[in-house]
Structure 1
Amino acid sequence: MGNIQFDYGDFFGTQETVLSSLRYLNKNVESNHNLLSLAYNTIANSTAKLKQFDDAIRYFKLAIEFTKDAEIELKYKNNLSVCLRDAKKYDEAINLSQSNLQKSVYGSRDYAMILNNLAKAKNLQNPEYNPLNDYWLTLKIRDNYNDLWGLNSSYASLAQYYTGVEIDSSLYYSEKQYQIAKRLKSPDDQINALKRLIEYSGDNQRQYFTLFLELSDSIQQARAAAKNQFALIRYEVEKNKADNLRLEKENAEKQNRLIRQRVITGASIFLLVLVAGGGTLWYKRRKQRLELEAQNRVKETQLHLSKKIHDVVANGIYRVMSEIEHGDEVDRDGVLDKLENMYHQSRDISHDVEQQTITETPFNEQLASLLKSFAADHRKVLIAGNDAEQWDDISKRIKDEVKHVLQELMVNMKKHSQAEQVVVRFEITDRQLNIFYKDNGVGIPEEKSKGKGIANTVSRIESLGGKITFVNEPGKGLNITTVIPL
C-alpha cells in the first residue's frame, strides 16, 4: 500500500502506511531484514520528496544496514548520495558516489546512474566544473540499453546544465525529455520539462503553457483520489475489529454462564457430601468467577471504546471523504467545521480513556504532544531540552501553569504569526526554569499586544513569582523568554 501511495505522489500517506508496517517486523529476525530494508528505503524516498533531508538520510542508512543484496545495496547507496546532494552536503555526496562508481561495472546501467549523479553533484558544488563529458557518456550507455528512465534523467541533467549557458541546447534537451516522459507516462517529469519549455520557448510558449495547466490539474485530481483509495479498506478493518470484539464479549458471557452453572452444581453436590470440602470448593469457584467477570468488564470497555471510535471518527471521516469525492464543489468552511467537530468528539473519547488509565502520561510527553499538535505541512515545531527527569522535582502547579502558558502562546502563533518555524527550548539553571520561545512570523501586531491572551499569560507567570519578556520585531518574528524560580 505504501509503495502504491508513493507512485501516486501521496508522500505523507506513504510515511504513515509504511511506518505502521514496521510493527510487524523484528530487527532481530534475519528473515525480516529484506522487508525492513525495503520499508526503510520507501520511507526515506517519501521523506526526501518532502524535503526532510536529515530524516531521509537516516532512513537510507537503515535501509543499507539491513540489506544483504550487493546490487540492491548499491542502489540504496546511490539514493543516499542523491539525498546528500539535495541536502547540499556535496562533499559527502561526491565521496559516496565515487565509492559507488568503483563498485559498479563499467558500462552498466548502474554505472551510468552513479556517474550522472556524481557529475551533477560536482557541478552543483563548483559551477566552474564542466560535467558534459560525463553526461554524454552516461547518455550513450543508456541509449545502448534503450533505458527510457535513464534517458529521461540524462536529458533532464543536460537541459538543466545548459539553462543560462546555451538556451537553444536547453530547449532541445527539454523537448527530448518531454517526449520521453510522455512515453513513460511520468507526469512529474513532463511538468519539469514543460517549465523550462515555457520559460525559454518564445513561439510555442502558449501551447506549452496550456499543456502544463492540463497536466497540473490532472496530477492534482489523481493525487487527491490516491489519498482516499485505501480509506474504505481501513474503514472495513476497523468495522471488523469492532465485530470481533463484540463476538469475544458474547463468547465470554456464554463461558461465564456455563462456569456459574458448574459452580452451583458442584457446590450443591459437595455440600451434601462434606460441608468443609464444599466450602473450600465454593471459595475457589467464586474466585474464578470474579476473575472472569473482571475480564468481561475489560472486554466490554474495549468494545464500547472501539464502537465509539468507529461510529464517531471512522464514519465521520468516511462521510467527509465521500462529500469531497462526489461533490461538484468543495465547501471548504463546511468541511473544516465537520472535521473540527469530529476533532472535539475524538478528544472527548480520548479524555474518557485517560479518566480510566491508571498510569499518567509523563509530563514531557504531554508537552511534546501539545506543541507538536500545532505543526503542519507549512510549519515546523522544534523542541529542545524537554527531558523527562528534569520535570521530576517541579511542582504540579508550575507544570499546570507552564502547560497553559505554552498552549496560549501556540494558539496565538497559529492565529496571527504566519510562522513557518517555531522553536521551544527548556533549561534549568541556578534553581530556575527558563523557557525560550522563538518563531519567524510577523511578530505581534500593535493592536494585539495588549490583548486578553497576552495579559493572562503574563499574569500566570507573575503568580509563580516569575517573569516573562516579549521581544517583538514586526515582520521578523517574536522572541519570548520566561523565567520561573523553583
Structure 2
Amino acid sequence: MIKKIFKSLQDKTFLKYSLSILIFLMLGCVIYLLKSPKPEPVIKRNYNKSEIRKVLNKADILYDSYELNRSYDYFNQAQLLCDTDIYYIEYVYALTCMAAIEQIQGDFVASEILLTKTLPYLKKIKKPRFAANVYEQFGANYYYTYDYKNSLLYYQKALHLKTSSFRKITVLNSISQIYLKQKKVKLAESILIPLSKIKTICKNNKHINDYEYARILDDVGLCYHQQGKPEAIDYYKKAMTIQLKLKDSYALLYTNLHIAEYFQLSNPQKAQPYAKKAYLLSNKLNDAHNQLQSLNLLTKTSQGKKLKEYSTQFIQLSDSIEKARKTAKNQFARIKYYSKKDKDENLQYKAEKVKNELQLERQKNRNILSYIILFFTTMFSLFLYCYLTIKGKKEKNDAVLKSELRISNQLSAELTHDVYETLTFAENIDLTNEDNKEKLLSNLDAIYARTRNISKENSAITTGKHYASALKEMISGFKTPELNILLNGFDSILWDDVERNKKIVLYRILQELFFNMKKHSQATLVSINFKINDKTMTIIYNDNGIGTKNSTPNLKNGLQNVENRIKTINGNIIFDNNPEKGFRLSFTFPL
C-alpha cells in the first residue's frame, strides 16, 4: 500500500493537489486565529531621538569591533524603540545594519525580509545614500544566492541614484562581478579597465581610496584570468602590494585565493603557498566560508598525507559551519523574541487590566495553530522527500545509461580511426610481400577483437524476465578449455525482485571483473557465490590467478570502475588479496 502511495508521488498533479490542500488548511488556521479575541489597545511610550541614537552608537561600536551578535542585539533594540512615523531614518538605518549582519552570517532570506521592511520609508528620506545602501544589499543577497538577474537589477537602481562618484565606482565594480559570473567577460572588462585608470576614487580618505583601487586591480586580474590572459597575475600582484601596505587582511585573503586559483591547474606547487596563506588569513579572521574555499584549493594541489589531512579538515569544517549557522539563526531569533518582549513590557504599562481568560484563549489558539501547521508541514515534507527520492533514482538510472552510451561512442570513434589507418596501409603497400600481408592480417585481427569487446562491453542489458539467462550467457562467454567457471547460489536469487539499476550495475561489475581476470590474472578456475541475507545481496568472487603484487589491490587495473559502480547503488566492496591463493573480493548492496 505504501509503495503505491510513493509511486503516485511521481505524478506532478498529485503533488500539486497536496500542496494546494496544505496551503488551504494553513489559511484556515490563520483565519481561525484572527477570529480569536483581541487584546485591549495599549498606550505607546514615545522615545526621543537621543535615546535611540545612544543605542545605535553602541551598536556601531560593536559592529566595527566584529562583535556581530551583540551589535545585532542593540540594532534590534533601536528599531523597536523607533516610532516609524517620526524616526523613520533611524529605523531604516537599524534594519539595514541588521540585514548586513544576517548577510554576513549567510542567512540571506532573513536579510531580505529585513530589507523589505525599509522600502515603504525610503521615499520619505531625502538622502539617497539610504536607498543606495538598501539596493546594494538587495543586490548582494541575490548575488550570493546566484540570482544574477535580480542582483543586476538592484545594483542598477543604486547606480541611477544621485550619490557620490565613489559610491558609483563601487557599484560599477559590483556590476562587473555579476558579468564575470554570467561569463560576459567583455562587458566586465569594458567597466573594469576604465575604472583601473582612476587612481583618485575617494578624495577624503586615502585608506578607502587605496583599498578600492586595489579591489579594482584584483577584479581586472579576475577578468583577464577568465580569458586565459597572462596579464592577470600582474594585476593580482599589483593589488597585493597595495593591500600589504594597508595591512588589509580581508583583501589579502581574496587576492591570495585568486592567485592560487590562477596557478591551480598549470602549476599546483606554485598555487599551494597562496592557498596556505589564504587559509591562515581566513583562520585569523574566523571567516568560515573562505576557510572552506582555501581548504578546497589545498586538496586540489596536494598529494599523499597532506591531501588526506586537508580533506578531513574540509569535511569537519563543513559540518561545524552548518551547525554554527543554525546556532546563529536561533540566537538571532531569541534576540528578536526577548527584545519584543521587553518592548511590550515597556509600552503596555496598563496591561495589568488585561483579563487572564483572554491571555489563556490567545495562548490556546497559538498552540492549536502551531500543532496544526507542524503536522501538515511534516506530512508535506514527508511526501516531498519521497517524491524527490523517487525522482533522484530515475535520474540516476538515466545517468548510468547515458554514461554507457558515451563510452560506446568514444570507443567507436577510436575504432573508426584504426579502420581508416588500416585501409590507408592496404592501399599504399605491396600485398604480395609476406611481411606486409602478415601486418595487414594482424591489424584486421586487432580491429575485430576491439569490435567484439566494444559490442560486449557496451551492448544494451536486458533487465526483464530474461535478465538471469543474459547474465549467465555473458559469464559463460568467458569460459574456455583452460578456464572453468563455477556459480553457486545463482538460481536461488529472485531476480525479478531486484531493481533495474542494480541489475545493470551487477552485470557491469561482473563483466569488469572477468575482463580484468582475462587480461591480468592467468586464472584457470573462477568461482562466484551469490547470497541474500536481511534484504542485502552479497557476491563473492574468487580466482586462482596470479592476483596482485601488493596487499592492496591495484585499482588502476580496471578495479577502480568496480568500486565506482558499487558506490552508485550504496554498496560496499572488500578486497582480500593473497598472492598464493589468487584474487578474491566480495561486494554487498541493499535490495
Q: TM-score, normalised by structure 2?
A: 0.42
Q: CA deviation at 1:171?
A: 0.9
Q: Measure how far apart 1:168 and its partner are.
A: 0.8
Q: Larger RCO: Structure 1 or Structure 2 (Cα < 8 Å, ≥ 6 residues apart)?
A: 2
Is residue 108 of structure 2 the alignment partner of residue 11 of structure 1? yes
Indicate yes or no: 2:299 matched with 1:198.
yes
User: Do the aligned residues in 1 keep the contact of 2:288 with 2:321 (CA within 8 Å)?
Assistant: yes
Q: Secondary structure at the match of 1:58?
A: helix
Please state whether the residue corresponding to 1:66 is helix, strand or coil: coil
1:108 aligns with 2:210: yes
Q: Deviations over 1:12-68 (max 9, x none)?
A: 221222222323x2335313x322211221221121111111111111222333362
Aligned equivalents of 2:277, 2:111: Cα separation in 1:
31
| Alpha-carbon distance, 1:305 to partner | 11
| Counterpart amino acid of residue 2 in structure 1 | A
Given residue 6 of structure 1, which amino acid in structure 2 is its aligned partner?
Q
Contact 1:2 1:13 in 2 (8 A): yes
Q: Which residue of 1 is the match for residue 119 of structure 2?
A: 22
Matches within 5 A, 1:335-354: 339-341=373-375
Does 1:224 pair with 2:337? Answer: no
Residues 1:59 and 2:162 aligned together: no
How has the CA–CA distance of structure 1 residues 79 and 416 changed in structure 2, closer, same or farther, with 3 Å as cutoff? same
Question: What stretches of structure 2 of length at least 5 have no aligned partner?
Answer: 1-97, 202-208, 394-591
CA contact (8 A) 1:15 1:47 kept: no
Judged with a 3 Å threshold, the aligned counterparts in structure 2 of structure 1 residues 304 and 57 are, in CA distance, closer, same or farther, namely farther
In 2: Cα distance, 1:146 partner to 1:214 partner: 30
Residue 262 of structure 2 is matched in structure 1 by 161
Shift in alpha-carbon separation, 1:153–1:305, aligned structure 2, 3 A:
farther
In structure 2, how many angstroms separate the alpha carbons of the residues matched to 1:67 and 1:6? 26
3-state SS, counterpart of residue 88 of structure 1? coil
Query: What is the root-mean-square deviation of aligned Cα atoms in Å?
Result: 4.1
Deviation at 1:233, TM superposition (A): 4.5
Measure, in 2, the Cα distance between the counterparts of 1:142 and 1:8. 25
Aligned length: 286
Residue aligning to 1:382: none
CA contact under 8 A between 2:221 and 2:234: conserved in structure 1? no
How far apart are 1:145 and its partner, in Å?
Answer: 1.8
Return the alpha-carbon distance in structure 2 between the equivalents of residues 245 and 305 of structure 1: 19
- The answer on 1:39 being equivalent to 2:134 is yes
| Match 1:149 to one of 235, 238, 250 | 250
Identical pairs, percent: 19
Q: 1:197 to 1:340 in 2, by over 3 A?
A: same
Q: Distance in 2 between matches of 1:235 and 1:309?
A: 19
Give the SS at the match of 1:34. helix
Q: Cα gap change, 1:58/1:413 in structure 2, threshold over 3 Å: closer, same or farther?
A: farther
Structure 1 residue 187: Cα displacement: 1.3
Structure 1 residues 146 and 155, CA gap change in structure 2 (3 angstroms): same
Q: By how many angstroms is 1:109 displaced? A: 2.0
1:217-366 map, 5 Å? 217-235=319-337, 310-312=366-368, 339-341=373-375
Q: Counterpart of 1:15 in structure 2: which amino acid?
A: E
Task: Answer whether contact 1:19 1:43 (CA < 8 A) is retained.
Answer: no
Equivalent residues of 1:242, 1:306 under 8 A apart: no
Summarize the Cα distance change of 1:63–1:418 in structure 2 as closer, same or farther, 3 Å threshold.
farther
Residue 175 of structure 2 is matched in structure 1 by 80
Contact 1:194-1:212 within 8 A present in 2 as well = yes
Cα contact 1:120–1:131 (8 A) shared by 2: yes
Distance 2:119 2:277 in 1: 41
User: What is aligned with 1:208?
Assistant: 310
Instruction: Note if contact 2:100-2:137 (Cα within 8 Å) is conserved in structure 1.
Output: yes
Distance 1:306 1:37, change over 3 A: farther
CA contact (8 A) 2:142 2:148 kept: yes
For 1:230, what is the secondary structure of its paired residue? helix
> Shift of residue 194 of structure 1?
0.7
Aligned equivalent of 1:171 = 272
Structure 2 counterpart of 1:328: none
User: What residue is the counterpart of 1:453 in the other structure?
Assistant: none
Classify the secondary structure of the residue corresponding to 2:195.
Answer: helix
- Residue 176 of structure 2 contacts residue 191 of structure 2 at CA under 8 Å; is this kept in 1? yes
Q: 2:222 aligns with which of 120, 125, 129?
A: 120
| Aligned position for 2:519 | none
Larger radius of gyration: 2
Pairing of 1:472-483 with structure 2 (within 5 A): none
- For 2:122, what is the secondary structure of its paired residue? coil
CA deviations on 1:128-169 (whole Å, 9 max, x unpaired) are: 454111111111121122221121111111100101111111
| Helix, strand or coil at the partner of 2:190 | helix
String of CA shifts for 1:372-413, please: whole Å, max 9, x gaps.
Answer: x99xxxxxxxxxxxxxxxxxxxxxxxxxxxxxxxxxxx9998
Gaps of 5+ in 1: 252-299, 317-337, 346-372, 375-409, 420-486
The one-character-per-residue Cα deviations of 1:234-274 (angstroms, maximum 9, x if unpaired) are 445777999989989x89xxxxxxxxxxxxxxxxxxxxxxx
How far did residue 341 of structure 1 move?
A: 2.4
Letter in 2 for 1:4: I
Q: Which runs of 4+ in 1 moved over 4 A?
A: 233-248, 303-313, 342-345, 410-419
- Equivalent residue, structure 2, for 1:96: 191
